[in-house]
Amino acid sequence: MRLSSFFIALGAAGTLAAPVEQQPLPGSVRHHAGPHKVADPYTPDNRNPYDKKVDAQGDKLHPLPWRNGDGADMLGPRNRDRERQNPDLVRPPSTDHGNMPNMRWSFADSHIRIEEGGWTRQTTVRELPTSKELAGVNMRLDEGVIRELHWHKEAEWAYVLEGKVRITALDTEGGSFVDDLEKGDLWYFPSGHPHSLQGLSPNGTEFLLIFDDGNFSEDSTFLLTDWVARTPKAVLAENFRVAPEVFRAIPEKEKYIFQGSNPESIEKEIPSESPGYKKSKLQFTHKMLAQEPLNTTGGQVRITDSTNFPLSKTVAAAHLNIQPGALREMHWHPNADEWSFFIKGRARVTIFAAEGTARTFDYQAGDVGIVPRNMGHFIENLSDEEDVEVLEIFRADKFQDFSLFQWMGETPRRLVKEHLFATDKKSGEKFVKAIESAEKDPIRDVLGQDDDDKEEL
Rounded Cα distance between 313 and 372, Å, is: 20
Residue 377 marked ligand-binding: yes
Stretches in the chain below the pLDDT threshold 50 = 1-36, 450-457
CA 434 to each of CA 96, 214, 360, 443, 445: distance values in angstroms, whole numbers, following the listed order: 26, 41, 26, 16, 14
Rounded Cα distance between 412 and 452, Å, is: 28
Residue 4: predicted pLDDT: 40
Residue 152 marked ligand-binding: yes
Same domain (yes/no): 441, 351: no
Residue 35: predicted pLDDT: 42
Residue 419 marked ligand-binding: no
Same domain (yes/no): 65, 190: no
> Does any domain span residue 11?
no
Q: How far is CA 83 from the centre of its chain?
A: 21
Residue 331 marked ligand-binding: yes
* pTM, entire model: 0.89
Q: Which residues are catalytic?
A: 392
DSSP string, 286-325: EESTTSPPEEETTEEEEEESTTTSTT-SS-EEEEEEE-TT
**What secondary structure letter does DSSP report for 156?**
E
Stated as kind and residue range, the H or E segment containing 80 is helix 80-85
Residue 333 marked ligand-binding: yes
Residue 38: predicted pLDDT: 62
Rounded Cα distance between 329 and 350, Å, is: 12
Residue 197: predicted pLDDT: 98
Residue 385 marked ligand-binding: no
Same domain (yes/no): 128, 234: yes
Number of domains in the chain: 3
Q: Name the β-bridge partners of 164.
A: 182
Rounded Cα distance between 54 and 90, Å, is: 12
Residue 291: predicted pLDDT: 98
Cα dihedral across residues 30, 88, 16, 70: positive or negative: negative
Q: Give the structural domain span for 421.
A: 401-445
Residue 276: predicted pLDDT: 76
- CATH number for the domain including 364? 2.60.120.10
Same domain (yes/no): 179, 70: no
> Does any domain span residue 15?
no
Encoded amino acid at 197, one letter = L
Same domain (yes/no): 166, 83: no
Same domain (yes/no): 364, 391: yes
Instruction: Show Cβ contacts of residue 193 under 8 Å, excluding neighbours closer than 6 positions.
Output: 151, 169, 170, 171, 172
Cβ atoms of 73 and 64 closer than 8 Å = yes
Cβ atoms of 330 and 402 closer than 8 Å = no
Residue 21: predicted pLDDT: 43
Residue 269: predicted pLDDT: 87
Rounded Cα distance between 42 and 448, Å, is: 26
